[in-house]
Amino acid sequence: MAYNKKNQNSKKEIDAIHYSTVYNFVPLSDKIAPPPVSQPSFDIPLKGGISGEIDLYIKNIQPISIGDKQTKASQHQAGKIYFFRTPNNKLAIPATSIKGAVRNILEIATFSRMNLVENKRFGYRDLQDPSYTSYFTKASKKQNNQSIFSSKVKAGWLQFKEGEWLLTPTEYHRIEHSNSIHDLQKTSLEELLNYKIFDYRQNKKRPISKEKYKLLLSHNNNSLAVQFESIQNRENKHNKKTLIYNTVTKIGKGSKQGYIVLTGQPGPNKHLEFIFEKPQNTNAIKLDTSVANDFLNIYKETEEWKNLNKLVKEGKLPQIPVFYILDDNRNIKSLGLSQLFKIAVDNSIYETIQNTNADHLSQDLDFTTALLGHIDEDSSSTPSLKGRVNFSLFRPSGTPQTQWTEETISNEPKATFYPNYLQQTFPRNQSSHFNFSTYLAFKDKKHTKRNKPKISGWKRYLAQEKYKLNTIPPNVRSKKTLSKFEYVKNATLWKGKLRFHNISTIELGALLWIFEQTNSNNSFIQLGHGKNMGFGGCHFMPQFTPKTKITTHDGKTITKQQCIESFTQYMELHIPDWKNTPQIKALIGMMNIDKVQAYAQKHQLKIQAMPLDHHRYVKGASKREKGTRYTYKTTYLPPFVEESTTSSETTTVHKDKNQITNNPFAALKKG
């Protein structure tokens, strides 16, 4: 992202004129095309069907890395991703890599369903979203034109006992990091430890809670237990706000007993930690199963959760310290491991798809699943179906040598970044307050008109002219997030086969149409690791001569071009003006370097990974630099192809299903 500075009433404003991205989305269609073979079979010959194999060559026109074995990154050493090898240590591209790439394109091109996704609810924490912050705090009154806020958050001790998650409520108190507070009615951890271990306003580090616990224990006789005194519901001034909370006034001795509880350090300005009172012999609350599952789905793989369980096991904490919110009926509705914790969002991935077109979630066969099959992980739904197409192992021509990249940070975009992954409708250059569509359903009083969130579509990486490793941010001190990967240089030819059994010419035409999109030097299909950095662009070249004939089960012959035409005509029959739909234009465009560059120029974009700290600026956060406050215009990713309203005249194309010309295999039935 690049920025322009403008003087404006002694306040400088920065326009986000260069939005950075390496991906975009093909929008979901409001129509689903039916499969040309409604009852696929391996046993009963398909009338006009074909079986056989085709030699297929793949040429990587960009460096390619097909990930296989990995070594885990550590504090001092970046991880390694090795190129795929066969048992006899030969380089190869496995069939799964090719089939996965082809399947994604086929789903889009054939207007198939987006239903092979995990129905996941994300954890959401965004301090730029007023509806999120109002979930945790309430403004009680105003005093001297200052708002006074109190927290809705409560504290408790969590344990798993006899097959149930139980929470025992407790009181929590706030304690300062250091004695620089200049308030005689407050004390700090510095007084307890006689050491400034948490002076982050000076060193500006951002350690996670695990690192802070380790530091505290090393300076406090390996103990988190503490005696203290506190003032209940004290009003404390914080900048232009007044916050009400239980304030620790004495540490190391006192009438109260508790445990020091630490949370992460999101920035240098955080200067308070917690003391949880010792759990009492009160009735524990049984957590609702859905509340417990949401909590575990968000936290069970985190370092914080693992470290807290370790501290409990070692006897340093009695149970897991948690924060929670009550609903209107005084039941626990959500909980987390920090005061402003991640909440399970109201809209899952499935629901954002459903809000676009509920038919996408149907389990009925579509073009792609009928051809490539699917695996059923739920015995109550549609049974698994074996695919009628597969690819062989692809081996290189000659003996290419591999090389290793420099260390880089993967920086893969995550679906939680709602400005891109959800459809946004407000003007991109609008500099107003928070207008984003998010995964949340609840809102604050000022933001009551949000529409149901809709998914942006099928994510596709943009074709890049040259590869460029992601820049490592200067504040990265550990190598745990870094990796280097093994790759083969461009212009390597890989040979293998496309095999098919009992498929229609329309279905073979769909595969050949996909391969044909890479005929241009500047268009390609991406394979393997590092697609977000410009790796993996490949040409797919089925080995046909102009006179090659394909023979059907009943002895008829058809050419490659007739197969492709039968596919495109089939799609035009079910999706009027199919080749000019936003879906096909976006799909083909994102595969082409020239069209990607034209898109970037039109919208003043940079085709590169967005720097990590810019994600929050996109959402309206401000930045301070050398005493000057900078604000960033709210913006989001523009669609690759602007959708236009289809005229009524174009929606009546191909009324008669027998109108497909030059295609003797249009009406396919089980023979």
Q: Give per-residue pLDDT as tens, 149-200.
A: 889 999 999 999 999 999 999 999 999 888 665 666 778 888 887 777 776 6
Tell me if 617 is assigned to some domain: no
Q: How confident is the model at residue 419 (pLDDT cuts 50, 70, 90)?
A: confident
Tell me if 240 is assigned to some domain: yes
Place of tokens 């249009």: 666
What pLDDT, in 10s, does the model give residues 562-576? Answer: 999 999 999 999 999
Least confident span in 6-10, 366-370, 490-494: 6-10
Q: Which residue has the higher pLDDT, 659 or 309?
A: 309
Report how far apart, in Å, the C-alpha atoms of 623 and of each of 566, 627, 632 are. Answer: 56, 10, 8
Q: Is the same domain home to 106 and 192? A: no
Closest CA to 132 of 141, 122, 142, 140: 122
Tokens, residue 129: 């979203």
Average pLDDT in the chain: 84
Task: Name the β-bridge partners of 422.
Answer: 455
Q: Is the same domain home to 485 and 581? A: yes
Cβ partners under 8 Å of residue 37, min gap 6: 46, 370, 371, 503, 504, 507, 668, 670
Q: Which domain holds residue 186?
A: 137-339
What is the pLDDT averaged over residues 617-634? 59
Q: Is the same domain home to 82 and 101? A: yes
pTM of the predicted protein model: 0.82
Tell me if 8 is assigned to some domain: no
Q: Is the same domain home to 114 and 154? A: no
Q: Which residue has the higher pLDDT, 430 or 432?
A: 430
For position 394, what pLDDT does the model report? 98
Which helix (H) or strand (E) covers residue 541, if one does?
strand 537-542
Q: Is the same domain home to 572 and 522? A: yes
Q: Is the same domain home to 174 and 260? A: yes
Tell me if 641 is assigned to some domain: no
Tell me if 21 is assigned to some domain: no
For position 628, what pLDDT does the model report? 55
What is the pLDDT averaged over residues 235-261? 89
Tell me if 648 is assigned to some domain: no
Tell me if 612 is assigned to some domain: no
For position 459, what pLDDT does the model report? 95
For position 348, what pLDDT does the model report? 86
Q: Which residue has the higher pLDDT, 638 or 140?
A: 638
Q: Which residue has the higher pLDDT, 205 or 645?
A: 205
Q: Which residue has the higher pLDDT, 442 or 387?
A: 387
Q: What percent of the chain has a predicted confidence (pLDDT) above 70?
A: 83
Least confident span in 46-50, 130-134, 197-201, 455-459: 197-201
Tell me if 445 is assigned to some domain: yes
Least confident span in 74-78, 100-104, 373-377, 440-444: 440-444
Where helices occur in 270-354 by DSSP H, the ranges are: 289-299, 303-313, 349-354
Q: Is the same domain home to 272 and 152? A: yes
Q: How confident is the model at residue 625 (pLDDT cuts 50, 70, 90)?
A: low
Q: Which residue has the higher pLDDT, 55 or 384?
A: 55
| Strand, helix or coil for residue 482 | strand
The DSSP-derived string for 549-602 is EEE-TTS-EEEHHHHHHHHHHHHHHHSTTGGGSHHHHHHHHHTBHHHHHHHHHH
Q: Is the same domain home to 355 and 290? A: no
CA dihedral of residues 660, 665, 667, 671 (deg, nearest 10): 180
Task: Name the β-bridge partners of 11.
Answer: 8
Report how far apart, in Å, the C-alpha atoms of 78 and of each of 253, 559, 568, 599 are. Answer: 46, 51, 47, 35
Q: Is the same domain home to 154 and 249? A: yes
Count structural domains, the chain.
2
- Residue 457 above 80 pLDDT? yes
Q: How confident is the model at residue 381 (pLDDT cuts 50, 70, 90)?
A: low
Residue that terminates a domain, selected from 339, 360, 383: 339
Q: Is the same domain home to 248 and 364? A: no
Report how far apart, in Å, the C-alpha atoms of 453 and of each of 352, 424, 426, 431, 614 are. Answer: 6, 9, 13, 21, 23
Q: Is the same domain home to 446 and 549? A: yes
- Residue 442 above 70 pLDDT? no
Report how far apart, in Å, the C-alpha atoms of 507 and of each of 31, 50, 371, 390 are. Answer: 19, 10, 7, 13
How many CB atoms are located within 10 Å of the residue 116 CB?
12
Residue that terminates a domain, selected from 603, 631, 650: 603
Q: Count of residues for the chain?
A: 671
Residue that terminates a domain, selected from 545, 580, 603: 603
Q: Is the same domain home to 537 and 578? A: yes
